[in-house]
Structure formats: C-alpha cells, structure tokens
A = this chain, B = another copy of it.
Amino acid sequence: MSSLDSRIRSDLEGKIRSGEWPPGARIPTEHELVAQYGCARMTVHKAITALVATGLIERRKKAGSFVARPHVQTAVIEIPDIAAVIAARGEAYRFELLRRTRGAVATLDEASTLAGFDLGDEVLVLDGLHVAAGRPFCLEHRLIDLAAAPEAAAADFSVTAPGSWLLGHIPWTQARHRITACNAGSGAERLRIGRTAACLQVERWTWRANQPVTFVRQIFPGDRYDLVAEFTPG
C-alpha cells in the first residue's frame, strides 16, 4: 500500500476525483512523472495502467494520457447469497422446499426459452420459499442441469437452499442477471402479499465452462428488498 507505484496511483486518482484534472484533461507524460517522482518509467507506467484498468484514464499513443470522460455509468452490484443477506440483518432464516421434480428439458415448457440448456438434458426443478423472521422474503424457481451438477440429484434441499448449496459445490465461471419489476400475480399467496403488489424479479443464468449450470428466478416483494450498487467510475 505504501509502495511508490500505489502512491503515484493515488496521487493521480486524487487529482482526478477532486476535479483538479477534469475529464478530458491531459495528465503529465510518463517522462514528466518520472522526473517528478525520480523513479523508473516502469513504476509510473504501472500506476497509470492500474487507473486505465479501472476506467479512470485513457491512453493514446503519441497523444498522451487523458482523464476519461465517463459515458455510461457502470455500477458494481453485489448479489450475495440470500441466507447471508438475512443473517446479516440478524433475522432468522429458513428455506421451504415447495416442489422438487426431475425430468428431461424437452418436457418442460420453460426449458426451450431458457438459458441454452440442451434439449433432453436431465434437470432438477426446484421451487422454494426463503423465509426471514417468519415472513416470506423471496420466492424462487430454479432449474439445475444435472449434467453439470450431478451431485445435486442427491442433495437435500429441504435444509440448505439450492443457491447456497451450488455456491459451495459447483463453482460457476459466468453469469448473467436480468432485473425487472413485476406484479406478484400467482406468487402472491406464497409471499402473503396482494396480487398487484410490485415485486423485484431477479433472473440469473449461470454457466460453467460455457455449459449452463442453473437458472433461477427470484421474486422479492418490492417493499422488503432492494439492490444497492455502490459505484466508482467509469
């Protein structure tokens, strides 16, 4: 942390975040910074490279390095395990398994539209309810590809939620999230809210080495959950 390159990095970052160097401004050349800090160019280069990686700086050969002009807001959103969220709130957590079936993908209506599961793949279909402090917190519908996660066939999901189980057993390498709003509709009874109540719907596709592992659709009552994305550019 107190290495020279991280000092240079935070110096530069400070000038940018304070607004002293506004977006589009040209920052000193590596040569100038070398003279200023009395170090090797590699050290300066490393510091700038780190800021390029975070999107704070853009480099153009011959022209120089410039403070990036942010154009899209990219926020990092953390989607933790539900059990962990509830535990962090200090509430009691329980998972209720509502349905568990097993079958080939072709027989399931959702399958063809979802995720790129191969037709005929054996999947586990799990419906469940996450309960926090006695109140329904999230209704979950999940498909698990048994080709990618054969051990899931023997797992006991009445104790551990499938999400938590998968996290520990089948490491994924890629995921895609879709966040939408919907009315509670047919899930209203289970969630014990009105059918017209607004809910946050998070859909997540998860792959491992380009093979689908699981698809999950989670429905949260709008007043019980929100997603917060902290952010720094860019």
A-side interface residues toward B, CB under 8 Å? 16-19, 22-23, 50, 53, 69-81, 84, 167, 171-183, 196-201, 204, 208-209, 220, 222, 225-233
Contacts and interface: CB of A to CB of B under 8 A. Distances in A.
Nearest to A19: B209
A153 to B, nearest CB: 19
Contacts of A226: 178-180
A9 B171 CA distance: 20
8 closest A-B pairs by beta carbon, nearest first, are A181-B222, A196-B196, A198-B198, A177-B229, A181-B200, A181-B181, A180-B226, A181-B198
A5 to B, nearest CB: 11
Contacts of A198: 181-183, 198-199, 222
Nearest to A148: B19
Contact of A73 (B74, B80, B196): B80
Given A177-B228, A196-B183, A77 B79 contact: no
A176 B230 contact: yes
A9 B80 CA distance: 27
**Can you tell how many copies of this chain the complex includes?**
2
A162 to B, nearest CB: 14
18 contacts: A19-B208, A19-B209, A72-B84, A73-B175, A73-B204, A75-B76, A75-B78, A76-B77, A77-B229, A172-B233, A173-B233, A176-B228, A179-B226, A181-B198, A181-B201, A181-B220, A181-B222, A196-B196
A167 B175 CA distance: 30
A183 B209 contact: no
A196 B67 CA distance: 45
Given A179-B226, A198-B198, 4 more contacts: A22-B171, A75-B77, A75-B79, A181-B200
A172 B227 CA distance: 21
B72 A231 contact: no
A40 to B, nearest CB: 12
Contacts of A228: 176-179
Nearest to A208: B19
Nearest to A207: B17
A231 B206 CA distance: 10
A177 B222 contact: no
